[in-house]
Chain A
Amino acid sequence: DAGVTQSPTHLIKTRGQQVTLRCSPKSGHDTVSWYQQALGQGPQFIFQYYEEEERQRGNFPDRFSGHQFPNYSSELNVNALLLGDSALYLCASSLGDRVEGAFFGQGTRLTVV
């Protein structure tokens, strides 16, 4: 049973550029949440997608946007990258309108230089 798959695992971008991160949820899950984890900190909620719509958003600027596809996979887009966007981006999947049992992927390590 495949877990949550994220790609790429690592990438380096230049300040001002745009980046797209991808996530495939755990088999049987239909909800995808994105979190940002700065070094030495707990994950911070960015947003959640369910039925291809953003259901809840955390305290992140509009530079952060997302999408969910009919197969439940999801993308996180970040525009106009700042040095402070350097972090581990985690995707978590769950089932339906439940946050319980959220299953995390290994994350994408983004470095902005």
Chain B
Amino acid sequence: GENVEQHPSTLSVQEGDSAVIKCTYSDSASNYFPWYKQELGKRPQLIIDIRSNVGEKKDQRIAVTLNKTAKHFSLHITETQPEDSAVYFCAAVNSNSGYALNFGKGTSLLVTP
């Protein structure tokens, strides 16, 4: 089955700096890659996703890049703010044959003022 690895496990940045979280996946047939943000005690919230026919997608301060050849994808957050502090999870799935999101172990991001 699909195996998703996520790095780093913790990340601390100063407000205004950029943050980058990286994930690798094992199944070359995976074609959908969402990122979820989970604040303490709250539900995982979809913040951005990308499909395998796209190399990059941006939404304001958030961007995701995908390298299908290397089987890795990354989340980029620019101009970080304290409210960006949360745990971020990447996931991968072959949406043509499966319905299970395969999650990484998460990255705890702390943005200090």
Cβ of B105 and Cβ of A103 under 8 Å apart? no
Cβ of A56 and Cβ of B103 under 8 Å apart? no
B residues in contact with A21, CB < 8 Å: none
User: What class of interface size applies to chain A in its complex with B?
Assistant: 20 to 34
Which residues 57-108 of B sit at the A interface, judged by CB distance below 8 A? 89, 91, 93, 95, 98-106
A98–chain B nearest beta-carbon distance, Å: 7
Is A82 interfacial (CB-CB < 8 Å)? no
Is A72 interfacial (CB-CB < 8 Å)? no
Cβ of A101 and Cβ of B102 under 8 Å apart? no
Cβ of B44 and Cβ of A43 under 8 Å apart? yes
Is A55 interfacial (CB-CB < 8 Å)? yes
Cβ of A45 and Cβ of B102 under 8 Å apart? yes
Cβ of A102 and Cβ of B42 under 8 Å apart? no
- A106–B34 Cα distance when bound, in Å, is 18
Cβ of B98 and Cβ of A99 under 8 Å apart? yes
Cβ of B99 and Cβ of A42 under 8 Å apart? no
A99-B93, A100-B32, A100-B95 as given contacts; A44 in contact with B103, CB under 8 Å? yes
Cβ of A41 and Cβ of B105 under 8 Å apart? yes
Cβ of B99 and Cβ of A55 under 8 Å apart? yes
A101-B46, A106-B43 as given contacts; A48 in contact with B100, CB under 8 Å? yes
A41-B106, A42-B104, A104-B44 as given contacts; A33 in contact with B99, CB under 8 Å? yes
> Which B positions have Cβ atoms within 8 angstroms of A?
4, 6, 32, 34, 36, 41-46, 49, 89, 91, 93, 95, 98-106
> Which A positions have Cβ atoms within 8 angstroms of B?
3-4, 31, 33, 35, 40-45, 48, 55-56, 58, 90, 92, 97-107
Query: Can you report 9 residue pairs joining A to B where beta carbons are below 8 Å apart?
Result: A33-B100, A35-B101, A43-B89, A48-B99, A90-B43, A99-B99, A102-B34, A104-B44, A104-B45
